[in-house]
Structures are given as C-alpha cells and as structure tokens.
A and B are shown apart, each in its own frame.
Chain A
Amino acid sequence: MSLILLENVKKTYLSGEVNVPALRGIDLSINPGKFISFVGPSGSGKTTLLNLIGCLDKPSDGRVLVAGSDITRLNRQTAAKFRGDNIGFIFQNFNLIPVLTVYENVEYPLIMVQNIPADKRKKRILDLLEKVGMSDQKDKFPAQLSGGQKQRVAIARALVTEPKLVLADEPTANLDHHTAYKVIGLMHAMQAEFDTSFIFATHDPKIVGEAEIVLTMEDGLITKTQENPVSREVN
C-alpha cells in the first residue's frame, strides 16, 4: 500500500487578480520507507507539493492520501492532529525556537503534541540527540550552534514523535557543501534506522544523487523519475 498517493493534484494561487498555477496535475504514488528527493528550479512547485503532502495546505483540485487518509477532507483541528501523529518537518531555516535549549526544542513536540510523560520523554530525547551527535550540546541555545548543528537538532525534533513520514524543504540551502552532505547523510541514516520515509526538496544537484528516488519538477509537473541504487555510509 502506498504511503503517499496523489491523484491529479492541482494547486492554483491567486496573485492579485491572476490565477497562477503552482501544480498542474500531479499523479504520484510513494511506498513506505523510501528516501526521496524532489528536485527542480525555484518556482517549479516543490514546496507547494511538500505543503500538500504535509497537510499544511489543501489542493485546488484532486486528492492527496497520506497513510491511507484523504487529507483534503481534514479540518484545521484534525489536520493538526494528523500532522502530529504522522509527519515530521525539517525546514530550510531550521525553525528552532530561539529561547529554548537544544533539549527543550526536541522536547517541545512531545509536550505540545503527544503529551508523553516526562520520564519517557527524557529517554527518547537523549537517545535521539545521541544518534544525531548533539547530546553534548543539549543545554545550548540555537544562537550558540552552527548551521549544521541546528539542522541536526531539527532532524531530531522531526523524528522525536516517531512519524511515518519526514518532509524536509530545502534542508541544506543554508549550509555549506560539506555540511550539506553530512546532514543529508544523517537524514539517510535516520531513515534507515527508523524505517521512516524521508522526502526532501532541493535545487542543489550535488546532493540529489543521495536520494533513492529523484523526482524532477518543472512548471508544476513531475517531468522525470529516476531511481538511484544508493548505499551510503554515514560518518
């Protein structure tokens, strides 16, 4: 069964009085446990597609099914619950809360979304910080971290709720090349360890090759699907 199923998905934005099509009829099926990349130039519709899969936005037409649920039918409340139960997010700007420490940032979804008891929270967070190599930085605030470190924390935060799917929109755009490779490597390792599907959008052709499946987008359509036999050791 597909983890993600899109049927003739269209999305149009109103810019002034003009309708601008962002997605022009996407059909897509993705199985669980994959490491997938959307690649394409700015404005090709990558972020819009991720927002639809992530239940952050609704299509103008078509159906989006994630983990068997038609998320186009969800209201604000149920959509939020669905995201909390099933989806983790990694952002280009890391989106760590500046007044919270590394530990508290990772802990936030467990308190606000999943109401996990404190003792269970602690073990899960420390394990995850250990896995992303940030356990010795757990008491630092985001301003005290490098870009790569921030993104590691963001990966831990995305995984802490044990989601079925992690969506990462341009996760390496603010990182140097070397750090970007490390972050993608870490994401891949986490995907393998937790058997969580990772989908990331990028316009960086150098890191595209790290994905198992590369979907190329142009002008709101998927124009090419390429499978890579990726096997990567993560340091």
Chain B
Amino acid sequence: MISILKIAWRNLRRYTRRTLLTSSLITIGVALVIIFSAIGNSFKSEVIGILTNSNLGDLQIHKHGYVGSIDNLPLDLTISEPNLHKVRSLLDNHPDVKAYSERIRFSAMVSNFSQTTNMRFTAIHPEKESQVCTDLVERIKEGETNPEIFVTPGSIVIPLNISKGLNVKLGDEIVLVATNNEGSVNGMTFKVAGISENILGPAGKDGYIHLEDARALLRIETAEITEIAIKLNHFDRLNQITLELKSQLEPIPGEKTAKPFFEVHTWEELSPFASISKIVTLLIVVVRIVLVSIVLISILNVMMMSVYERIGEIGTLASIGTLPKKILALFLTEGLMLGILGALIGKGVGIGIILIINAVKINFQFGMMTLSLAPAIPVAETFFSVITVVLISALASLQPALKAARMEPVDALRHV
C-alpha cells in the first residue's frame, strides 16, 4: 500500500499541469464554501445578536393567545399577578436563566401639542430590561444611557424618526394618550429623556416608558403584565431550555379554561428575521452542493482524461503483470490525493481570507442596522468541507479507476 501511495504521489507530481488544474479547482471550491459559510454565519449571528440583545431577549413568555394577536398589542391577554408569581419563582430558581424583564406593551397616541402620531411602547423596569437587552442603551444615541436609569417615572425614550417627525428634542414634553382594557382613555405628559436608533421595532416607532407610568396611564391596579423577556446564560441552549420551560409552564391551567395559561416563544418565532436566517442557512447548503458538484465534475473529468491519456501506460502495467486491483488502487489513490491536496489548500486559503476580512473590518448597512462583518473561522464547516471533498474525490475517481482496472491489456496496448 505504501508503494501505491508513493507511486500515486509521484504521478501527481510528474503530471504537473493536470494536478495543478484540478487541485486549484478544488481549492477554489473549498475556499469559497468556507468563506461563504463564515460570512453567512457572521451575518446571522450579528443580526440575531442585535435583535435579542436590543429588543426581543432570547425567549418570551406570554399569556396563551397573545402572540397570535401581537400586532394589536392586546391588553386583555395579560399575565395576572398570581400567575406572574408562579413564573417568577420558576425563573428565579432556574440555573440557565440569566435575567428576565417584565413588560407591558401597548399602543398610544403621541402628541407634541400640535401634531399627533401613533406609537408602540414597551413599559419596563430599566435595571431589569438592561440585564435582558444588554445592548439596548447602546442604541440610545442622545440622552441618558445609564442602564439603571435610562428611563425613569415621567420620562420617555423615543426613536429618532419620531423625534424628527414631531420636532421633539431632549427635555421636551410630549403627551401620551392610551385606551385601556376597559375602553377608558387616559393621557399623561412625559419628558423626552432619550432618543434611540430606529431599529427597535418593525416600523421604527417603538418607545420606552417606566412600568409604573404604564400602570398609571392604563389604570392597571394590579401587578399584571403582558410579557416576560428572558436572557439565558448560554444562547446555544435556547431550544432545550425553551422546551423545559414549556413543560414546566404547560400544567398551569388558564383562569377560566383547562387550556394552558402560558405560551413560550423563542426569538425566532417573534421576529421576521428568522426567515432570513433560514434562507442564509439554505444558501450555505446550496453553496455546499455547488462545491460538491464542482469537485465531483472536475475530479471525474480529470481522472477520465487521465485514464484515456494513459491507456498505453495502463496496457503496459497490465501486460507486465500488475494485478487489476493494484491498477484500481493506483488511480483511486491519485484521485483521493488530488482531493486531499485541493481540500487542505482550500481550507488554508479560506481561513487566510477570513483572517484578512477580520483584519480589514468591513461594515455594511442591513435595513436600518449597521452590521460589522466579523466572520469566525467555522471549525466544523472546514472539517465538513474537507471530509466531503475527500469522500467525493474517492467517489469521482472510482469510475475511471474501475475503467482502468477492467481494461483488457491487449486492447490497451493497441492504443499505443
């Protein structure tokens, strides 16, 4: 076997042009798939990080049916005080829960006394919200950015486009008018304490007030809330912990029916970006298939050409008494070595380009978000690509190698 390896390697070195051509094709394919995977995954994790750390949290708990009506921000689907206590005791003792933030979300009219528009609000305790949405204060471009007090009773954080549209600056007063669960309308005056980027919320019209102010505005007298956003210690355990929480909360029945009271959703079920994320994953798979096809076709083509070019050599090998299985092994080994060579160089080139991209620090706009491209070297992806290419190389070499091994020596010699 060692002699076959040596001869195969010698043949690859001596048939230089063919070896360079094929291995460079494989190199390009492997490098592209590694780079594309790294960039795609970097894009995904960057956007997921922005969404979960600025707004959504890793997962959320609502009253059953809330997410189905989330566009209306219903105030009649709230988590009542007794049930809230149950969730609190569960989350307080859960080792995987890093922090959680209780919220009331509602719609309100906002007026600067001359113009009025509608907005969506998230009422929070800032210190708890900052533990869940750790990047939230970074999104506040003007005003208070202390995570403990970025919004206090009587103050409001509004997005940039509302600030511009209503011509409202820091320290200005605006009025919020909201309808509560029972249909009664109430209004309160707030002082603008912060102006945030527009990325928070689908239309960039989401603001923050203190939870106590929301209760006063909406005349909610108990400690009820509409949602709980949760931050986990380890994001990669999201699905497992979601399942755990679901199984722990499901037995708690509704107040009037036997159906479960709570529903638990991950960020993916709450954000349209989950679809984009899936498309990116799909694209990576497509690129992988293209890579595999490139490798398969190039090795198949080169090995077929090699067999045709070397019919005389095969005839000579066979006539001097080389066993067909050795001829098979020789051609198979050559194909396999081409695959390994191309894959390893491709891996090196791919990692090199990823390091260059990281050194250059590329920033780009995605919607209203500024993303910084920081592709991590996808270790699993590099191994997967290399192993796939090596297996495909063996597969692609098999047919030409079998052809060479099955060639009748007397026929092969006639081609000389």
Contacts and interface: CB of A to CB of B under 8 A. Distances in A.
Given A54-B319, A95-B416, A99-B11, A111 B3 contact: yes
A41 B354 CA distance: 69
A54 B413 CA distance: 13
A203 interface: no
Interface of B: 3, 7, 10-11, 14-15, 312-313, 315-326, 409-410, 413, 416
A51 B318 contact: no
Contact of A112 (B10, B322, B416): B322
Given A56-B413, A81-B323, A95 B316 contact: yes
Contacts of B318: 80
A108 B3 CA distance: 10
A12 interface: no
Contact of B14 (A57, A100, A161): A100
B14 A112 contact: no
A111 B7 contact: yes
Interface in A54-106: 54, 56-57, 76-77, 80-85, 87-89, 91, 93, 95, 97, 99-100, 104
Contacts of B409: 56
Contacts of A192: none
Interface of A: 51, 54, 56-57, 76-77, 80-85, 87-89, 91, 93, 95, 97, 99-100, 104, 108-109, 111-113, 115, 157, 161
A87 B321 contact: yes
Nearest to A78: B323
Contacts of A113: 320-322
Nearest to B320: A109
Nearest to A92: B416
Contacts of A115: 3
A208 to B, nearest CB: 24
Nearest to A52: B410
Given A95-B312, A95-B316, A99-B14, A109 B321 contact: yes
A223 to B, nearest CB: 25
A100 B313 CA distance: 11
B410 A82 contact: no
Most buried by A among B3, B14, B319: B319
B416 A89 contact: no
Contacts of B326: 112
Contact of B3 (A76, A112, A157): A112
Given A85-B321, A108-B317, A111-B3, 12 more contacts: A56-B409, A57-B410, A77-B324, A81-B321, A88-B320, A91-B413, A95-B316, A109-B320, A109-B321, A112-B322, A112-B326, A157-B320
Contacts of A161: 320-321
B413 A112 contact: no
Contact of B317 (A51, A99, A112): A112
A200 to B, nearest CB: 15
Nearest to B323: A80
B319 A89 contact: yes
A112 B320 contact: yes
Nearest to B326: A112
B3 A84 contact: no
B4 to A, nearest CB: 8
Contact of A108 (B315, B320, B324, B325): B320
Contacts of B15: 99
A83 B319 contact: yes
Contacts of B320: 83-84, 88-89, 108-109, 112-113, 157, 161
Contacts of A112: 3, 7, 317, 320, 322, 326
